[in-house]
Amino acid sequence: MNKYSIAIHGGAGTIRRETLTPEQEKSYLSALEEALDAGYKILEKNGTALDAVEAAVVSLENCPLFNAGKGSVFTADGKHEMDAAVMDGRHMTAGAVAGVAGVRNPIVLARAVMENSEHVLLSGKGAEEFARTLNLPFESEDYFYNAYRYEQWQQVKGEATTLLDHSEKKFGTVGAVALDQSGNLAAATSTGGMTNKRYGRIGDTPLIGCGTWADNRCAISCTGHGEYFIRAVAAYDIACLMKYKGCTLAEACRIVVQETLKQSGGEGGLVAVDQAGNVVLEFNSEGMYRGSIDAGGKKNVAIYRQ
């Protein structure tokens, strides 16, 4: 058995077979597999969990199918405001950015905050200024334009309504968790947020302990209605259930997703991995774009609830 594993997600929500054409389904599964392989290849070569989750999320950010990076949804002002976070379980260091525009890969900037600053979370113009000091790549608004996302925005433009990726109530955050051959864990999460969002709204993704967490007990990346994950401190609650109550990873994930979040009306899911290489992909919505390669080397990519 391998001593390394990885899991990814590309969003959760009301995702049914009848909502996707065979061609769309094939495209999503292919993109998930590509991201999964990008991270796993690093683990196979004895790379770090941190490098693996970053590579997987960069792949998802570069794919317009997902609400992160290139595929980010439109704000009420017709812009793109992106959030991302990364956490290294070795020393429980973390970096995050919120409300950034123009940055090609927000997850790369989040890691830069962790490794090249004394801070954990930078936002907006300040985060963008920091990215420029490091010569990180920026793109024009045309790069982020996507006809499908634009149409989503047009359906609610001008309304005082914030929607969850609008179509079919989908939460489009992407993320990855991994265990490397040295026994270290890491988590990374990235999102474009909610369609038509206003007032600089920030969800759970860049908030350490809410949408993203890693220590060397477990690593978690969440996707869902962020306000509920924030109130539940969802990602850290899983770590706490394992540490203080002795729950297994699977038990802790089930309690948080199927009980704590569900009881408060929170819809979504998460991917998680522990130090033994156990992988959990838990969600309370009808579907979740997801993939994993477990400690036995078994690969799985899926969309719908099986």
Any idea which residues carry the catalytic annotation? 173
Cα–Cα distance between 159 and 295 in angstroms, integer?
48
Instruction: List the structure tokens of 193.
Output: 């947020």
Let me know the angle formed at the C-alpha of 42 by 4 and 297, rounded to the nearest 5 degrees. Answer: 40
Instruction: Give me the half-sphere count of Cα atoms (radius 13 Å) on the Cβ side of residue 80.
Output: 28
Cα–Cα distance between 128 and 263 in angstroms, integer?
38
The beta-strand segments (E) located in the chain are 5-13, 82-88, 93-100, 121-123, 170-171, 174-179, 185-191, 212-214, 218-224, 268-274, 279-283, 287-293, 299-304
Instruction: Give me the half-sphere count of Cα atoms (radius 13 Å) on the Cβ side of residue 173.
Output: 31
Residue 136 CA: distances (Å) to CA of 29, 105, 123: 29, 9, 16
- Concatenating the DSSP letter of every residue in 192-255 gives ---BT--TT---STTSBTTTEEE-SSEEEEEEE-HHHHHHHTHHHHHHHHHHHH---HHHHHHI
Give the three-class secondary structure for 117: coil
